[in-house]
Amino acid sequence: MRSLPIVTKMNAARLPADDEVSAADAVTAIRSGDLGTAMTWDHADSGAVAKTHDFWLVGHGVREALEVTAIADEPTKTNLGHWRKRGPGFSATIPGLTNAWTIMVDPTVKATALKSGLAGWLRALEAEGITETGRWDSSRLYTHPVTNAMTAAGVIIASAVAGPPAGIVSFAYVSDIESRPAGDPNHITTALTQALTLPRHIADAEKLAASGAAVRHLFVWVDPLTRLDIGRALTEGLPTVAPVVDPRITDVWLGLPDESGVDVLRWSAADGWRYGHVTG
């Protein structure tokens, strides 16, 4: 009986992930406009050679390198993963309620207690006409026992809301990321400069340098759940200060997905900050 071949990472081609493909699509679309020539991408990091950048961007006489990565608050991302798996996720339906509710949660607290106790707690609050409570509840002369239980389970604020159908409970999760200064688009510059000093992004620069390409793009997806500060800073306008970027990276792209496609903020030493949007 013939034995089956052993498939390893060395002999199995690695296909690009969906988020990598989306980034490559966005960059090729914008670069096609920049250069006035149709650009396409080829997957470079097949797994055959270690420390290879993700894509080649190719066009008429053009060959550029692209590496795709992400910026996220990793502790918060880990905690949110726990809440998606063990907790109620981002919404739940609880029968027997007369209101819809929003719950702000501290995701560093384990999800088990909240998931098991929430329905009873909200029904008890409604029975007593309490429509908002939480860690800083000062509207009653004593701390309600339900409030004690909810805050111990990680609830920061629980509020009844008008609009959604009764029984719909929506969850929001806080992170330890500092709030962006109001009116400061250069918060993006600060956040990017700090991120690029991390070892994994230094490794990204090494991959791009090894490509030998003259133009070397680093595309950074901004995690929409844990780095809201960056997305909100973009609403203040384009940054006016250049980030500190490893010279092995010639162009940095920040991608923020939205309902219609991808908002793209990019920086290069030659052109400074520029904004674009790719639909799709």
pLDDT in tens, 200-234: 999 999 999 999 999 999 999 998 777 878 888 88
In the chain, pLDDT over 70 holds for what percent of residues? 85
Residue 10, pLDDT > 70, answer no
Cα separation of the two ends of the chain: 50
Q: Which residues contact 269 (CB under 8 A, 6 or more apart)?
A: 242, 245, 250
DSSP state of 86: H
Residue 87, pLDDT > 50, answer yes
Residue 255, pLDDT > 90, answer yes
Q: Assign 26 a pLDDT band (cuts: 50, 70, 90).
A: very high
For 106-131, what is the mean pLDDT?
89
Q: Assign 75 a pLDDT band (cuts: 50, 70, 90).
A: low
Partners of 222 in the beta sheet? Answer: 71
Place of tokens 């500190």: 244
Coil vs helix vs strand at 184? coil
In the chain, pLDDT over 90 holds for what percent of residues? 59
Residue 239, pLDDT > 50, answer yes
CA distance to 40, 86, 106, 152, 158, per residue, from 135 (Å): 53, 23, 11, 9, 9
Say what the pLDDT of residue 89 is. 73
Q: Assign 140 a pLDDT band (cuts: 50, 70, 90).
A: low
Most confident of 37-51, 162-176, 199-213, 229-243: 199-213
Residue 56, pLDDT > 60, answer yes
